[in-house]
Amino acid sequence: MLKKPDWLRIPHKHSPNQAAVEALLESLQLNTVCQEANCPNYAECFSQKTATIMILGANCTRDCRFCNVRHAEPTPVDPEEPMRVAEAVKALGLRYVVITSVTRDDLPDGGTMQFAQVIQAIRNTTPGTAIEVLIPDFMGNPSALAQVIAAAPNVISHNMETVAALYPQIRPGADYVRSLTILHQIKTQNPAVRSKSGIMLGFGETEEQVLQLFDDLLEVGCEFLTIGQYLAPSKAHYPVQSYVTPAQFEAYGAAARAKGFAFVASAPLVRSSYHAGEALGL
């Protein structure tokens, strides 16, 4: 186990806002990826009255080696969930919200109908809220993905997570080309929707592989990019191979901007949903 460097140590400061957000989400029976994935920015975001809501339950049908979300039997789709999500967005006064989900390979549409209904419920309740959805790959089903695109959120994000060579070790069940195809479909079917992806460093990737990933993303029309440090949730997860320095993150960010991404966030504690509204100037 590598020793965590000082720049990754976050002092915990509990705030009344954090407790209020936790209570609201519990009362509405909503999950967040902030809590389920053990995000290092969890306390900060909740203290600022923001959260990334995770729909379709808390149990994932896949078992990616980097992820802390439970791999277990999925729960039934809740038809009341879209309205509860909209209630939470309104209660928190969110100008920008990120909605994500567990992967639901057990559902014929992968859960896209639920995404579409959540988007519509938010539009009906707080029409001024900008919406980003962070989606799984829906097994590459183009007609399923089309339902989400047709719902026209402001941003559709699909994380590549790592470089092509590491997919077999890091993302069993996923496919590099399939994920690129999803991002390409977004831009070809609705150019007005902004496309986004996120990656983590520290899995053992090389600089050449990372730069190739940048090129691959740009080729399929990806506009926004986040780059952060992988932190193993436990000893049972894929071990961290390296801690990338803040200076190296700055260099990768500069390289991505120079290549043509419209927005890049690159720093050790950056996560795909962290301060996500900044990409749209919010």
In tens, the pLDDT along 180-204 reads: 999 999 999 999 999 999 999 999 9
- What are the two backbone dihedrals, phi and then psi, of residue 226, each rounded to the nearest 5 degrees? -120, 140
pLDDT of residue 41: 60
Residue 138 DSSP symbol? G
Nearest in space to 200 (alpha carbons), one of 210, 208, 190, 215: 210
Q: For residues 164 and 204, what is the distance between their CA atoms, to the nearest angstrom?
A: 12
Digit-coded pLDDT (tens) for 7-36: 888 776 667 777 788 888 889 999 886 665
Average pLDDT, the chain: 91
Residue 183 to residues 32, 38, 42, 137, Cα–Cα distance (Å): 24, 26, 27, 10
For the record, the structure tokens of 276 come out as 């996500």
231 pLDDT above the threshold of 70: yes
CA–CA distance, 150 with 134 (Å, rounded to integer): 15
Q: Per-residue pLDDT tens for 103-118? A: 999 999 999 999 999 9
- Tell me the C-alpha distance between 145 and 188, whole Å: 12
The residue-averaged pLDDT of 89-101 equals 91
More confident residue, 140 or 14: 140
Residue found by looking up tokens 């986040």 in the block: 226
- 37 has a pLDDT exceeding 60: no
Predicted local confidence at residue 36, as pLDDT = 54
Contacts of 214 (CB under 8 A, 6+ apart): 225, 255, 256, 259, 261
38 pLDDT above the threshold of 70 = no
* pLDDT for res 264: 97
Q: Is the per-residue pLDDT at 120 higher than 60? A: yes
Give Cα separations from 216 to 8, 145, 180, 210, 228 (angstroms).
29, 20, 8, 10, 18
Judged by DSSP in three states, 9 sits in coil
Q: 198 and 157 in contact (C-beta within 8 Å)?
A: yes
Residue 165 buriedness (CB in 10 A; 0-12 / 13-18 / 19+): middle
Confidence grade of residue 138 (pLDDT, cut at 50, 70, 90): very high
List alpha helices for 28-175, DSSP H: 33-36, 42-47, 81-92, 112-125, 142-150, 167-170
Size of the chain in residues: 282
- Percentage of residues in the chain with pLDDT exceeding 90? 71
The H or E element containing residue 2 is none
Give the bridge partners for 269, in sequence order: none
> How confident is residue 50, by pLDDT bands cut at 50, 70 and 90?
low
What pLDDT shows up at residue 274? 78
Q: Which residue has the higher pLDDT, 64 or 99?
A: 99
Question: How confident is the model over 258-267, as a mean pLDDT?
Answer: 97
Q: What is the pLDDT of residues 141-188, one digit of tens each?
A: 999 999 999 999 999 999 999 999 999 999 988 999 999 999 999 999
At 19 the pLDDT is 79
Are the beta carbons of 194 and 149 closer than 8 angstroms? no
- pLDDT band at residue 73, thresholds of 50, 70 and 90? very high
- Per-residue model confidence (pLDDT) at position 43: 60
Q: Which residue has the higher pLDDT, 229 or 64?
A: 229
Residue 46, token pair as written in the block: 């909740």
Any idea which residue has 């029409």 for tokens? 127
Task: Measure the CA–CA gap between 34 and 157, rounded to whole angstroms.
Answer: 16
Which residue carries 């691959």 as its tokens? 216
pLDDT of 91 strictly over 60: yes
pLDDT score of 68 more than 90: no
Lowest mean pLDDT among 33-37, 50-54, 118-122, 147-151: 33-37
